Structure 1
């Protein structure tokens, strides 16, 4: 039943009051520092490790996970959990290798990193791109899918849901990153508690259906009666192979998806950029542990719904337009919850959506204010002016998302697939540009430009390639599959892998050609001359004798990557859990 009872409203009201009061308290407590742009955008030096970790998860988990990933659990099973579990491993890599570079070089935004490492052209192109992506793809999808999900369990009009979510997120966002970070701790508490309650009742439903009781019995019955839904690695004949192509999830494109998202994404890295290295790493490690828990919350309910559906339960509820819609699995389960608990799950879903909206809006404001407004429109803007512009940007971005979200057909594509499809066209090039910028000091600005523009062009090329070329010869290697109409397509994750490799090779060639050209330039007068991205040392006779590795103002050394014993132990525990999970559910 798509209604909330009095107990549900009370539970939700308690959640709302706690968030509002705590957020206001944090805002008032830190109001004296609110005029600082770094404090507003980054909560510089204010977030604890547990606040950073909770904020990372709260910003990441939203309606596309609760609804879309549960739907994927219904459709393809536990394999979709690879997005969450591989993210845990990725977070460790980001904490060890990425965050130290950002913090050492006082990087506050991703465009700033590109400007410092390459040049202002690369930086401005990516700043504009990220703003468009965050507003048109991410903010709109989070808002619209969240509204649809809430409508499905409350019956409240979708537009009214969108308005309520947008206003709720605005109130939190306008308080700055400090308010976002600390309220995210409570958001994550409700998110996890409500999610676990839903999982508990879903597994218990499975037990009761088979005349048993208890969640452990429910899980065992699921593995026994829906064993095909408990394989992490798909064979080529699996109908879902195009979505998760075999070993690619372990050694291929899945790494690009996750490393780009967690390491090169303003929306995510911003949570740690205002802390010291030890605090940032501890927070990211905490987030990695929470990531290990996410499939229990968002995937297992979908598998439970699949088994119950297979056994004849809620046949009509899963239909949409005469066909089974996997994305209805989670809302159907929520509507079966008793009063009070349904309100808790409703609060959990709202928390996930609002936290993601607030985090995304803050990142939009940060990039626009620091990387566009201050550099192009008002180079002399003081701290107070920057904070004001940031707040205005938040309101404008949310208003734009509210207006355009219903017209993008997000619900027809499937939320999770919608976001992955559009961000995946640029992820390989961006990641190539970042990874070489970090660890190969000869990478040039022109090479970075190729990755930015050429990476997108290559992604489009591989997408349309099957329309005019027969790719069946790749099928024996697992790199293409018949889509059912005789056309052999390249799986999405494999396309990303191919584009990434091409971008890296092309960037290497471009950089080496430019480096070779620089060494041939005529050198006069100075003992050391800068050519593009290379510094050339000059011998006494005026000849170039050595190319010194120099990254335009970017400091990187191996000592930055050393970790504490506690972090190393935590990282090993996560790696051990991943090995065990993939071994058991291979």
Structure 2
């Protein structure tokens, strides 16, 4: 199918105004950065709406926006499981982990891991996170976004678009630090949500309503459970037991331990603002079923197999939206691209500065730290921009993206999940678990690439199940070695271990609040929303 991708002058004006505003925002926050707290953690002053919108925008980059619509077109509602599981994990994050992150006044999540286990755990986790930030979060986001932007501007090459977006994102990230990133993310999140609603409503009106959608899905000849979120055990893409192994582990890694996400919550004004922000982000994640996945399903009904699945969202944009709305939606899409890039650059530079530079140069000044972070942003921007166009050469890249993450994250999740609740889990157990996890991950990834290259029969179970197996084995090693060796001494356990005493003290502090201010009631409401969606669909 060929659709008109011409853009009117008013749409260009809207896009230009968006870029001008983001430049102004970066320059504005440049003058606000007086110290490293200001630059890396926005002065630890963020309130819940900013945190929630920024968390949502950082996650819903161009990969997610295009990918969710593509999955809606190809497999239906199943991949929404990654979204509702994210909401569930954000509840766990708000209730258990965030208070301890903030109590320790850390700059990076690996810094918390060092206080709990030691330097080896910090270096390993920081190195893994930086690598994933650069080669997955930033570079893959650049490539996915550039493919769609090229449809609007066909005269530009992929390389030109990648470098243009990279330089622009690095510019305002470098100037304003985290404050510039989170406030621009807030604008980008609003644009993304509004533009996605436009697309959904336009496609809905074109089809005629829910009954027509269900009839259209049946007529398309796809699986009968195309509009079902939870699938059977024989589903090749997302069998339901995989929800409790691979999907949960991926969500835990991304929302609880990844600096890319957690840095917003670390910058919260106080614990309550951080908790409300995390739950608000969880609420926004549930909306993706209707404004991102459903449009992909509607694209299947409207266009059939006349388009490629990856073009489901772009086809709706260019085919259904009038002048003006098209400009807003394109600005929203570019915003989604920018939010993943700026967040990745900011997170990776913070990790390098605090987990490596300041560890080896403990007497460096705050000005030194900010200068190193800015240099790091430029270096990582160049690496990401050089790598992004190469992704097209890897035919299996997108298929293996979630798979590779599923192999890497289980040992990390084990360290956090067990370490927060028992001081008997010690450093020797953590180090043994890391070595075990690295070995199993390397063997699993190597075997998958061997299968891909040779075409041999894959004898391993589904990668979502395999992730669960790696997690269980790493957990057994972690607990076993810890129990067979002596406990760690000299740690501030009150700041590192969750206890019922903390829960009771928090209950007392919440008792004077109206129920609608109590984050626990908000968390329960989110759980009911999740259950309702799973029952309905």
The TM-score normalised by the length of structure 1 is 0.82
Number of aligned residue pairs: give it: 514
User: Residues 397-476 of structure 1 correspond to what in structure 2 (within 5 A)?
Assistant: 397-409=380-392, 412-413=395-396, 415=398, 417-462=399-444
Q: Tell which structure's C-alpha radius of gyration is larger.
A: 1
**Which of residues 258, 277, 288 is equivalent to 1:283?**
277
Is residue 386 from structure 1 mapped to residue 369 from structure 2 by the alignment?
Answer: yes
**Which of residues 226, 229, 238 is equivalent to 1:229?**
226
Q: 1:326 deviation in Å? A: 1.7
Is residue 274 from structure 1 mapped to residue 267 from structure 2 by the alignment?
Answer: yes
Give, in whole Å, the separation in 2 of the partners of 1:216 and 1:47: 40
Give, in whole Å, the separation in 2 of the partners of 1:353 and 1:411: 21
Give, in whole Å, the separation in 2 of the partners of 1:558 and 1:428: 26
Q: Is the contact made by 2:407 and 2:445 (CA closer than 8 Å) also made in structure 1?
A: no
Q: Cα 1:513–1:552, aligned 2, differ >3 Å: closer, same or farther?
A: farther
Find the counterpart in structure 1 of residue 148 from structure 2.
149
Give, in whole Å, the separation in 2 of the partners of 1:552 and 1:569: 26
**Which of residues 223, 238, 253 is equivalent to 2:246?**
253
Q: 1:217 deviation in Å? A: 5.7
Give, in whole Å, the separation in 1 of the partners of 2:469 and 2:152: 42
Q: 1:554 deviation in Å? A: 2.9
Give, in whole Å, the separation in 2 of the partners of 1:455 and 1:283: 32
Find the counterpart in structure 2 of residue 5 from structure 1.
8
Give, in whole Å, the separation in 1 of the partners of 2:241 and 2:47: 37
Q: Cα 1:555–1:463, aligned 2, differ >3 Å: closer, same or farther?
A: closer
The TM-score normalised by the length of structure 2 is 0.89
Q: Cα 1:502–1:403, aligned 2, differ >3 Å: closer, same or farther?
A: same
Find the counterpart in structure 2 of residue 164 from structure 1.
164
User: Residues 62-101 of structure 1 correspond to what in structure 2 (within 5 A)?
Assistant: 62-101=61-100
Corresponding residue SS for 2:264: coil
Q: Cα 1:418–1:12, aligned 2, differ >3 Å: closer, same or farther?
A: farther
Unaligned regions of 5+ residues in structure 1, if any? 208-214, 319-324, 470-483, 516-531, 536-548
Deviations 1:363-398 (Å, cap 9, x if unpaired)? Answer: 11111111101111x221111111111111111101
Q: 1:428 deviation in Å? A: 0.4
Give, in whole Å, the separation in 1 of the partners of 2:275 and 2:357: 31
Is residue 173 from structure 1 mapped to residue 170 from structure 2 by the alignment?
Answer: no
Q: Cα 1:328–1:410, aligned 2, differ >3 Å: closer, same or farther?
A: farther
Higher share of residues assigned helix: 2
Give, in whole Å, the separation in 1 of the partners of 2:440 and 2:250: 16
Corresponding residue SS for 2:287: helix
Corresponding residue SS for 1:82: helix
**Which of residues 8, 18, 26 is equivalent to 1:15?**
18
Give, in whole Å, the separation in 2 of the partners of 1:440 and 1:505: 15
Deviations 1:168-214 (Å, cap 9, x if unpaired)? Answer: 2112211111111112111111110111111112222323xxxxxxx
Q: Is the contact made by 1:90 and 1:258 (CA closer than 8 Å) also made in structure 2?
A: yes
RMSD: 2.6
Give, in whole Å, the separation in 2 of the partners of 1:230 and 1:414: 27
Q: Cα 1:341–1:466, aligned 2, differ >3 Å: closer, same or farther?
A: closer
Q: 1:443 deviation in Å? A: 1.4
Unaligned regions of 5+ residues in structure 2, if any? none
Deviations 1:294-329 (Å, cap 9, x if unpaired)? Answer: 22222111111122233x7xx1xx2xxxxxx42121
Give, in whole Å, the separation in 1 of the partners of 2:90 and 2:393: 28
Find the counterpart in structure 2 of residue 584 from structure 1.
536
